[in-house]
Chain A
Amino acid sequence: MANVHQFDVVVVGAGGAGLMAGLYASRGAKTAVISKLYPTRSHTGAAQGGISAALGNYEEDKPEWHTYDTVKGSDYLGDQDAIEFMCSEAIDAVLELEHMGLPFDRTHEGRISQRPFGGHTNNETGKPVRRACHAADRTGHMILQTLYQQCLKNKVNFFDEYQVLDFILVNGRAAGVVAVELATGELHTFHAKAVIFATGGHGRIFEVTSNAYAYTGDGAAILLRRGIPLEDMEFFQFHPTGIYKLGILITEGVRGEGGILINGQGERFMPKYAPAVKDLASRDVISRAIYTEIREGRGVNGQNYVYLDVRPESVNRYAAMDGRTNPDGSPYTITGEQVLAKLPDIIDFCRVYLGVDPVTQMMPIQPTAHYTMGGIPTNKYGEVVVDDKDTIFPGLYAAGECACVSVHGANRLGTNSLLDLVVFGKHAGLKAAEYAKHTDFEKLPGDAESTARSAFDALRNGSGRENAFDISNELKKVMFEDVGIYRNEKDMTAALEKVRELQRRFKDVGVNDTGRIFNTELLNAWELGNMLEVAETVAVGALNRKESRGGHSREDYPERDDQNWLKHSLITKKDGRLEIGYKPVVITKYQPKARVY
């Protein structure tokens, strides 16, 4: 064991959540941030639309409204204590980002500019409210850059391009992680008192996705193997507007700026599904609406897509019809230049990948797998909790998309994820540092690296009868088609069977590259193992939950069933089999009621 490093706190992942945790942990403890990508390559950088906080820079807004919207958006599955906590911390969190230098767009008074986003409303009028603080359409990029810059300024220790393979636990407490250094292929053991997971989501298990190649669910899979449960894995968000076939995201900000959805017959169809907020309904509602249009034959040219229209003349026409106004009461209008200024990256994506200019043409879009609501169960301080009684696992923390606090419940509202990263990343960092201060290192087991090494050896020595690329594609296809936006017993049973078959076939995958240096083939194969593991939990969870709620819609159980299913599911792996348990939802102020937009 040549490569052993000792840190009080080890953060796995350097996206928004990991950097925030690293920044705060390093103030109180010796901290390392380990990431399989250079920090600035993390997927937080892809986030476009904004980060929510009831700053009220344009119009009246309150954290309570934000809380209610989030609870409603979550289809009442979110834990209300955590949601309230997040929404009340939101204002300070966003201001703190500003103080760190984040270049938000500005109002004429010089304050942070805000835009409307799906599901965020003025609770009194029910009209959309401007709550999403934005930096053009690259808010996530600016958050990621700003946090990385602050980490450099504060001399946080980074281990870039180290991929974590295993979590070490001793006597039921965290003791560190094992990682492989990509550049040399060597294993390193990070001995730690506290470990924070912030590894992001697992959208790559679906065929059409807005997620990065790196989104393979490493953190969730590693902990699942180590006996930690995963919460609400059946809930996955499909974003309504991804670029047709490619899945690249077209931010909801487009609709925030007045864009509308048009079906193959040239009609605006959202008023049918959400009469009050129309194109700004919550994501699950719109994704289902689009799918319904397509299934009923109203896709464009009979294909699987509809149009998103942000051409100024359309925007202005429909804005006038809806009676939308500017804060000063004048009618809302937009020009081509304004579209360009507010959505430069979106325009660029459309031009590059579609050859379409959104200022003069409509964009072909289709729902795309977007966000992992479920994940590693934590409380509102980022501490991992392992059962229905919220028992804390000492020294283990999680934050960001890989965690399930749960503030997003069955469906996340746009802009709430970036907020989640910043708020819970910070608290996880603080808690971990505090914990480390009062704890001693557990003694490392002699064979800390053995599990990771044998996983690698198995892949290196696999028979090679199966090809990882094929398995991966088959997995993505079956997950997208049968465990996607609409789900039913029959298809999901078949899909689960397929996933398990792929897991068996995976045992015969062999890696050709025998080298150590940047053996990306080996690492990708290992990631595929994680995806298969995580996909199974998603399918099992979805098959088990016999109701429709938020992002989980079952054709055979189209109604929400609070009587039986107002509870979180917890999936645990025991002796290679998944077991399902449950945990109550925390309800404080808002009793569940029908969710209409």
Chain B
Amino acid sequence: MEVTIKIFRYNPEKDQRGNYVTYKVEAHENDRVLDVLEYIKGKIDGALSFRRSCAHGVCGSDAMRINGRNMLACKVLIRDVGANITVEPILGLPIKKDLIVDMEPFFDNYKKVLPYFINDSPLPADGRERLQSPEERARFDETTKCILCAACTTSCPSYWANGEYYGPAAIVNAHRFIFDSRDEAADQRLQILAETDGIARCHTAYNCTEACPREIKVTKAIGEVKMAIMTGKLD
């Protein structure tokens, strides 16, 4: 079938501002949008730039706005979006070129929530694993899935309004540790998230949950962090 695809283009070395270029290409309905982009890059305009690596939704490289909504280009098929497609960079991060945005502010926010395991207590005497029941493990299973694709944070109206907001991705990654029964720094992370640019900026707009390609219930994770701050209970 013929697909009409309108792509946001911006060449920092030539253009003052971005513009849209429309391409018409042949594609199969089971093709990924990423395949179409690859084809355009390979055969029509080699300069078209975007990030990609794994091509099956596990590396988080290719979050972009497809038909007005954040998705991974490698995880959405033509049959899901139809023959008229608009592809734009994700919102709220500086645009470097075409569909490539500057990810540094995103990773900077991520790094603020101490996104690493902290436990300074001595290891079990036998040197084996720290024990954790299957239930305790299940408590934070969902948020371990995050691939840091930024689809959530760049879909959040609060983040658009204010780039200082840590954003849903950072909170999701804090959640992964706050509710890990083996971790010992929940209080530090909660204090950070209780700050002005933390959870108070989330107004339950839900765009993040809808955007997450890993189907993490982002809003729910944020909600659990909020209630941990309000009640002090970590279960």
Task: Say if the two chains contact directly (CB < 8 Å).
Answer: yes
Interface residues as binary, B131-148 with A (CB distance below 8 Å gives 1, 0 otherwise): 111101100110011011
The residues of B that contact A142 with a CB separation of less than 8 Å are 144
Distance, CA A183 to CA B118, complexed state (A): 33
Q: Which residue of B lies closest to A472 (CB)?
A: B42
Max count, chain A CB within 10 A of own CB: residue among B117, B131, B134, B141? B117
Contact B132 A106 (CB under 8 A): yes
Residue-wise, chain A 68-93 has the 8 Å CB interface mask toward B (1 for contact) of: 00000000000000000000000010
- Complex CA–CA separation, A152 to B115 (angstroms): 8
Chain A residues, CB < 8 A from B57: 348-349, 352
Q: A106-B134, A213-B53 are in contact. Are A513 and B46 (CB under 8 A)?
A: yes
User: B111 to chain A: which residues have CB within 8 Å?
Assistant: 152
Q: Is B81 an interface residue (CB 8 A)?
A: no
Note all chain A residues with C-beta closer than 8 A to B176: 103
Name the distance in Å between B62's Cβ and chain A's nearest Cβ. Answer: 10
> Which of chain B's residues has its CB closest to A138's CB?
B145
From B127, B132, B180, give the contact of A110 (CB < 8 A): B132
B148–A103 CB distance below 8 A: no
In the complex, what distance in Å separates the CA atom of A38 from the CA atom of B107?
Answer: 10
Q: What is the size category of the interface that chain A forms with chain B?
A: 35 or more
B53 touches A214 (CB 8 A): yes
Interface size on B, residues (CB 8 A): 62
A57–B148 Cα gap in the complex (Å)?
32
Contact A46 B56, beta carbon cutoff 8 Å: yes
> Counting CB contacts under 8 A, is B96 at the interface?
yes
B43: nearest residue on chain A (CB-CB)? A469
B21 CB–A CB distance under 8 Å: no
Q: Which residues of A have CB within 8 Å of B14?
A: 515
Q: Assess whether A136 is in contact with B141, with CB atoms less than 8 Å apart.
A: yes
CB-based contact A101/B117 at 8 Å: yes
Contact at B129–A46, with CB atoms within 8 Å?
A: no
Q: Does B54 contact A (CB under 8 A)?
A: yes
B59 nearest in chain A by CB position: A41
Decide: A515 near B47, CB < 8 A? Known: A103-B137, A109-B131. yes
Q: With contacts A212-B54, A348-B215, A511-B46 known, is A106 near B133, CB below 8 A?
A: yes
**Are A212 and B47 neighbours in the complex by a CB distance under 8 Å?**
no
Say whether, besides A45-B59, A138-B145, A110 and B13 are in contact (CB < 8 Å).
no
Chain A hits for B100, CB < 8 A: 518
Q: Note all chain A residues with C-beta closer than 8 A to B77.
A: 352-353
- Which residues on A sit within 8 Å (CB–CB) of B118? 153
Q: Are A349 and B56 in contact (CB under 8 A)?
A: yes
Residues of B within 8 A of A108 (CB): 133-134
Which residue in chain B gives the minimum CB-CB distance to A103?
B144
Q: Check: A488 CB closer than 8 A to any chain B CB.
A: no
Instruction: Give which listed residue, A98, A468, A519, contacts B42 with CB less than 8 A.
Output: A468
Known contacts A101-B116, A352-B77, A248 near B11 by CB under 8 Å: no
Does B13 lie within 8 Å of A103, measured CB to CB?
no
- Chain A residues numbered 178-196 whose CB sits less than 8 Å from any CB in chain B: 183
Chain A 504-520, CB-CB to B under 8 Å as 1, else 0, gives 00000001110111111
Interface mask (B85-114 → A, CB under 8 Å = 1, otherwise 0): 000000000001110100100010001000
Contacts A/B (CB < 8 Å), 10 sampled? A92-B127, A99-B130, A110-B129, A111-B128, A141-B145, A212-B54, A353-B30, A353-B77, A512-B47, A521-B47
Given A95-B127, A520-B50, 5 new contacts (CB under 8 A): A105-B137, A212-B59, A472-B42, A519-B49, A521-B46
Binding site for A on B (CB under 8 A): 11-14, 30, 39, 41-43, 45-47, 49-61, 75, 77, 96-98, 100, 103, 107, 111, 115-119, 123, 127-134, 136-137, 140-141, 144-145, 147-148, 176-177, 180, 182-183, 215
